[in-house]
Structure 1
Amino acid sequence: MIVLGYNGFSRVTELLGKIVGHGTEGIDRHQFLGHDAGAAVFVDGVLVAAVEEERLNRRRKTTAFPINAITWCLREAGLTYTEVDRFAFSWCFTNDFADRAISGIASAYLPAEQKIKAIADFGDLYTGALSRTALIEDFARNTGFTPPSGKYVVVPHHRAHLACGRALAGFGDTAFYVSDGQAEEHSAIAGEIRGGRVRVLDQFTVGGAHSIGLLFAEITRYLGFVPNNDEYKVMGLAGFGTPPEHNPLLDKVVALAQGGRYSLAPANGDRPGRYEALLDATFDGDRVSRGDFDFQVRVAAAAQDMIERVTAHQLTALSEVTGLRSLIFEGGLALNCVNNTKLLEDLPFDRVEVSFGASDPGVSIGAAAHVADASIADVSPYLGPEYEAEAIRAALDEHATAVTWRELPFDQLVAETAALLTDKNVIGWFQGRAEYGPRALGNRSILANPSFPDMKDVINNRVKHREPFRPFAPVVLEEDAPRVFDLGKKTRSPYMTFVFPVRPEFRDKIVAATHVDGTSRIQTITDEGNPRLAALLRDFTARTSVPCLVNTSFNVAGEPIVCSPADAVACFLGTDIDHLVIGDFLVSKR
């Protein structure tokens, strides 16, 4: 069976923007349904292609209908629309959902005129973007092909998240936990899979009004960052502080209850910024203090502690109810890698897996996997476009007055690149198929030597143009990881979804890839999984006795990770990256 899964809408930004009162610019620009649009194709249970729309249309976290991603996936798979057996979309807004939404507006304490306007606005959103009819019309309008109704499947958003994690983990019986900002109506679901049957346990379902994901996003906004995008900055800031002995967020904002339940204090409506007054009161803050680094660290440390304690509260109860010792954790909250490690180490689970598509890029894979009922453990994350030497030469020729290059045999390319990395050079590394998901996993990466104490500042200031407190991650051979990092219950971490303490004897050796709290968010690689990067890492380690490289995404702040040779050359020339290794070409600036 051939299944095309996708995420993204044409009109949701326009229609939802009218309701929430903001558009695609400004601090709240990513607060829309369908962000991280993308597409994926399964053929007879095998994931053959997947790419995020942002990599192709070059608009970060785009909500747009993924016409470029769908076109590329079908072309890569050698398929036409008529050959697809099922079209799977990663949201499911049913008639019952619409009825409940209208009833909620009608029963709200609002003047009649406001109710009528709110119902009309929701009606425009539902009929123009969310309903099954609107979705099929959207597909036809963008592709010129109308999927037969019997072939078009709408998959509940959290079930798409679960299916992605389940397919990529390859577990048998397991507990699961999916938590993000908000899906159709809920923010989190949890349950168990036994004998292939999924059972959602209602006592762990959390409504959107009590979403800790949305609360963390509001704290992100409160500190001046972009919600639904910069939460990792808050996580990074937390490492500069210590968790409060008495967390004010758990005193005034979040209330834990028996059985893993919790609730949030009422906020000022559902508009962006609704928690500002409550957070000011909680932390004795104001608009001036929110920009102070020490204040930001204090709030971030409390927010991170809150996330860890609430999820541990939920998952402790889930482990007791299910008795299972494996856990699949998906959704946007699963990108909090500090929390992931603590859940694994402090709770009864022996194994916790977070996929490379844990946040919303994964629901395109998940929608298709849900329909295909696929299980494909240890699939490669390198699922996107690959470019031949001719395409690379063409991109270089476009900038022949600005760059010079040599095409080298692979062994020589690795040797010369490793030699460059022994010094304080920053290398753009572009190889093979583009990786899927929010992390650069070694095919569209910026690499550097982590042994230089100022390398973090060099990359942040000269290349990435981002905040100086932001840490960088190391890439390490899987066989070397246990001697460099304390992996605890883990044996590998290929997707940068967990953090680990750096062993004391290596903290000076990889100082630029060690966070202020002594941890690193590592990527482990093997010769089989990424032979080119593994060969480079072996050569570099042999030359330096440094077993890691800094690995950060090949982009600048605010832009998607590069996808094509043209993207890579443009980023190379627009930054202070010293050299570009693209395919078999070693490129320098004239």
Structure 2
Amino acid sequence: MKVLGISPLDKDSTVSIAEDGHILFAAGEERFTRTKQQTGFPRHALEKALSYTGLSMSDFDQVCYPFLTWENEHKLFTKNLEDEKAFIKEFQPADLGPQIKEALSRVPDRNQPIHGLEHPNAIMEKGFLHNSYYNMAGVQKLSSNNAALKSSRHWGESATESFRQWENELIQGLGEMGWTGPVKRMEHHLSHAANSFLCSGYERALCVTLDGYGSGLAGSVSEARNGKIQRLHGLPYPNSLGTLYEHVTSSLGFKPSRHEGKIVGLASYGDPQILGDVLLSRIQQTPGDFRIYEANNVFFSRYLASKFPKIDVAAAYQYVLEQVATNYIRYWVEKTGIDTIVLSGGVTANVKLNQRIFEIEGVNHIFVYPNMGDGGCGTGAALYHSWPGGVKPSITNAYMGPDYSESELEAALKAQNLQYRRPEHLAAEVAALIHGGEVVARFDGRMEYGPRALGNRSILYHAREPEVNQWLNNRLGRTEFMPFAPVTLYEAREKCYHNIKGAEHAAEFMTITFDCTEFMQESCPAAVHVDGTARPQLIRREANPGYYDILVEYEKLSGIPSLINTSFNMHEEPIVNSPDDAVRAFMQGALDYLAIGPFLVKHPNPVH
């Protein structure tokens, strides 16, 4: 059975094609339009998917979309927002005045510089009028209640309009591509649960989904067995850990739904105890459930950001995310006795949270779907509706996008008058360049699906010098607080990372952090964060022979089985897709070498 899955059109619209539960092609529209998290009907991605697979629209048995009709979505969240009014009315929050005063007294003097911050205790300077409004709308009970309910009302109006718009665009886009049949609607969190379970290879698992919003919910827990998924619990929106984290992201001056990773990085510099209890006092936790007071009130996090160091605000929100999510999941692990967790949903892009989930007593195995955000929902829908049943083998890699012929690679190089060679031992030559301090971009094979570059559209460098995080980010026009992530030979996983057993498969997709061994901390300081963790990609030869061989050759030269792997793209651009994208990013980023297919190119104007 052939199924086309289209992910939600409101952000990162993506096309997936599955046949009998196997993914034939999956790619985001952003890679073709070069606009990050592209919205709207994914026409370019669909055209590429059809040409790549040789299919036409008439070959599909079904087209799936992981949201209900706009009327049904509207019904679900309207009821939820009515329920929220009752919760806000009955909830008795702690008196914030004394809490804030005590928290301020705990902020230490700091002078250790943090790259990217003007001062380690920098706060969000917004001026008197803004601060006064944040104090009123975020803290004063009557005003803050009104602000929270008004925000929820506005969210509902905007969501209704958005669902209508994208539904029209979906039907119109499919019609223009030649699909006149019905669209199979799928409950949003079921599509998240399906992608994580059906790609994990596990026979039985607890599926946990956490995100901003989807079909009335902000999260769910399901028991999955033999391809069947049974919902145990749903977290009603707006009790959303995704929204909670979006609020702190915007309140600290970053873009929600895009820069949450920067908050994870900032958090490790701060002290979660300063504001952790203040935040927790606004969340009602009960066994296997929770409710967030004034969940849509962004002014509360803006108030905190205007008074406390950014690093302490980030640390508190990360701590609370970890506490609330792990308490929630722990209950269901204990209740079901299932020791295997599979994760999906935008919140599970938080690699530190995933480590904490894996550390829950009784959890022995974990898998995180590589495209955990809404871009992965189309795949979940296509897999779920095309899978014939039984235990499905795990995915071995995330190389699900297009690839390009040697003649296309050569044409892109010739168009820029670049000189290139075809080395006999490309992996050994690339490894020697990296060992000698050169930055090498690699473009080869099928493009990765999801937010992480996993070797086929990657920039590689040795991890021996911590300063690389600053100078390479500058060269690429990026501001990051997280260090670069390492790629590590699968066989060396226990030499480099503690407590990795049971999470190896998740680590093949760079979706979880681990505490680093002493060897890793000493040999790869550029890949280890201030808290001693790293977010590795483990690489097996069968997943990507050319990439794996570079690591093997590098280890022969250095004795180190890891390299830095960062995405091959310019700042605020999607990861490169085509040979032309690769050549342009190579030239703009002033990278030293480009390994493109079998060819090796030296930059005509090297930086050093």
**Normalising by structure 2, what TM-score?**
0.83
The aligned residue for residue 123 of structure 2 is: none
Evaluate the alpha carbon distance shift between residue 506 and residue 92 of structure 1 in structure 2; reply closer, same or farther with a 3 A threshold.
Answer: same
The aligned residue for residue 6 of structure 2 is: 6
* 3-state SS in 2 of match to 1:88: strand
Q: State the distance in 2 between where 1:500 and 1:66 align.
A: 36
The Cα shift of 1:245 comes to 6.8
The aligned residue for residue 226 of structure 1 is: 255
Evaluate the alpha carbon distance shift between residue 333 and residue 547 of structure 1 in structure 2; reply closer, same or farther with a 3 A threshold.
Answer: same
Match of 2:235 among 206, 212, 225: 206
Aligned length: 535
Q: How does 1:38-437 map to 2 (within 5 A)?
A: 38-93=14-69, 95-99=71-75, 125=162, 127-130=164-167, 135-141=170-176, 143=177, 145-149=178-182, 152-202=183-233, 205-244=234-273, 247-257=276-286, 259-266=287-294, 270=296, 274-276=297-299, 278-281=300-303, 283=304, 285-286=305-306, 295-373=309-387, 375-400=392-417, 403-409=418-424, 411=425, 413-437=426-450
Indicate if the aligned counterparts of 2:208 and 2:219 stay in contact, CA closer than 8 A: yes
The Cα shift of 1:100 comes to 5.2
The Cα shift of 1:103 comes to 7.3
Indicate if the aligned counterparts of 2:209 and 2:344 stay in contact, CA closer than 8 A: yes
The aligned residue for residue 481 of structure 1 is: 493
* 3-state SS in 2 of match to 1:418: helix
The Cα shift of 1:7 comes to 1.7
Q: State the distance in 1 between where 2:80 and 2:532 align.
A: 48
| Unaligned ranges ≥5, structure 2 | 86-145
Match of 1:500 among 514, 528, 537: 514
The Cα shift of 1:527 comes to 0.9
The aligned residue for residue 21 of structure 1 is: none
Evaluate the alpha carbon distance shift between residue 120 and residue 186 of structure 1 in structure 2; reply closer, same or farther with a 3 A threshold.
Answer: closer
Evaluate the alpha carbon distance shift between residue 566 and residue 317 of structure 1 in structure 2; reply closer, same or farther with a 3 A threshold.
Answer: same
Q: State the distance in 1 between where 2:6 and 2:323 align.
A: 34
| Cα deviation 1:427-451 (Å, max 9, x = unaligned) | 1111111011000111100000101
Indicate if the aligned counterparts of 2:58 and 2:179 stay in contact, CA closer than 8 A: no
| Cα deviation 1:147-167 (Å, max 9, x = unaligned) | 312xx2111111111111111
Match of 1:36 among 8, 12, 16: 12
The Cα shift of 1:43 comes to 2.1
Evaluate the alpha carbon distance shift between residue 123 and residue 351 of structure 1 in structure 2; reply closer, same or farther with a 3 A threshold.
Answer: closer
Evaluate the alpha carbon distance shift between residue 394 and residue 558 of structure 1 in structure 2; reply closer, same or farther with a 3 A threshold.
Answer: same
The Cα shift of 1:581 comes to 0.6
Q: How does 1:516-527 map to 2 (within 5 A)?
A: 516-527=530-541
Indicate if the aligned counterparts of 1:428 and 1:445 stay in contact, CA closer than 8 A: yes
The Cα shift of 1:117 comes to 11
Q: State the distance in 2 between where 1:485 and 1:393 align.
A: 40
Q: State the distance in 2 between where 1:170 and 1:354 align.
A: 12
2:580 corresponds to 1:574: no
**Normalising by structure 1, what TM-score?**
0.85
Evaluate the alpha carbon distance shift between residue 211 and residue 432 of structure 1 in structure 2; reply closer, same or farther with a 3 A threshold.
Answer: same
Q: State the distance in 2 between where 1:118 and 1:489 align.
A: 42
User: Which residue type is aligned with residue 581 of structure 1?
Assistant: A
Match of 2:456 among 419, 443, 449: 443
The Cα shift of 1:123 comes to 6.8
Evaluate the alpha carbon distance shift between residue 393 and residue 279 of structure 1 in structure 2; reply closer, same or farther with a 3 A threshold.
Answer: same
Indicate if the aligned counterparts of 1:580 and 1:588 stay in contact, CA closer than 8 A: yes
State percent identity of aligned pairs.
Answer: 30
Indicate if the aligned counterparts of 1:106 and 1:115 stay in contact, CA closer than 8 A: no
Indicate if the aligned counterparts of 2:193 and 2:222 stay in contact, CA closer than 8 A: no
The Cα shift of 1:496 comes to 0.6
Q: State the distance in 1 between where 2:317 and 2:377 align.
A: 26
The Cα shift of 1:314 comes to 0.5
Evaluate the alpha carbon distance shift between residue 95 and residue 394 of structure 1 in structure 2; reply closer, same or farther with a 3 A threshold.
Answer: same
Evaluate the alpha carbon distance shift between residue 441 and residue 101 of structure 1 in structure 2; reply closer, same or farther with a 3 A threshold.
Answer: closer
Indicate if the aligned counterparts of 1:93 and 1:184 stay in contact, CA closer than 8 A: no
**Once structures 1 and 2 are overlaid, which stretch shifts more, 114-123 or 488-497?**
114-123
2:484 corresponds to 1:472: yes
| Cα deviation 1:227-276 (Å, max 9, x = unaligned) | 0111111011112234317713434432222x222111225xx5xxx322
* 3-state SS in 2 of match to 1:348: coil
Q: State the distance in 2 between where 1:71 and 1:116 align.
A: 38
The Cα shift of 1:194 comes to 3.6
The Cα shift of 1:347 comes to 2.8
User: Which residue type is aligned with residue 469 of structure 2?
Assistant: K
| Unaligned ranges ≥5, structure 1 | 10-33
Evaluate the alpha carbon distance shift between residue 541 and residue 126 of structure 1 in structure 2; reply closer, same or farther with a 3 A threshold.
Answer: closer
Indicate if the aligned counterparts of 1:159 and 1:370 stay in contact, CA closer than 8 A: no
Q: State the distance in 1 between where 2:471 and 2:158 align.
A: 49
Q: State the distance in 2 between where 1:217 and 1:263 align.
A: 17
The aligned residue for residue 101 of structure 2 is: none
Q: State the distance in 2 between where 1:584 and 1:561 align.
A: 20
Q: After the TM superposition, which parts of structure 1 deviate over 6 Å for at least 4 consecutive aligned residues?
A: 102-110, 114-123
Evaluate the alpha carbon distance shift between residue 41 and residue 447 of structure 1 in structure 2; reply closer, same or farther with a 3 A threshold.
Answer: same
Evaluate the alpha carbon distance shift between residue 395 and residue 249 of structure 1 in structure 2; reply closer, same or farther with a 3 A threshold.
Answer: farther
Q: State the distance in 2 between where 1:389 and 1:539 align.
A: 24
| Cα deviation 1:260-305 (Å, max 9, x = unaligned) | 22111225xx5xxx322x2355x4x42xx67xxxx11111111111
Evaluate the alpha carbon distance shift between residue 377 and residue 101 of structure 1 in structure 2; reply closer, same or farther with a 3 A threshold.
Answer: closer
Indicate if the aligned counterparts of 1:472 and 1:512 stay in contact, CA closer than 8 A: yes
Evaluate the alpha carbon distance shift between residue 8 and residue 67 of structure 1 in structure 2; reply closer, same or farther with a 3 A threshold.
Answer: farther
* 3-state SS in 2 of match to 1:210: coil
Indicate if the aligned counterparts of 1:46 and 1:376 stay in contact, CA closer than 8 A: no
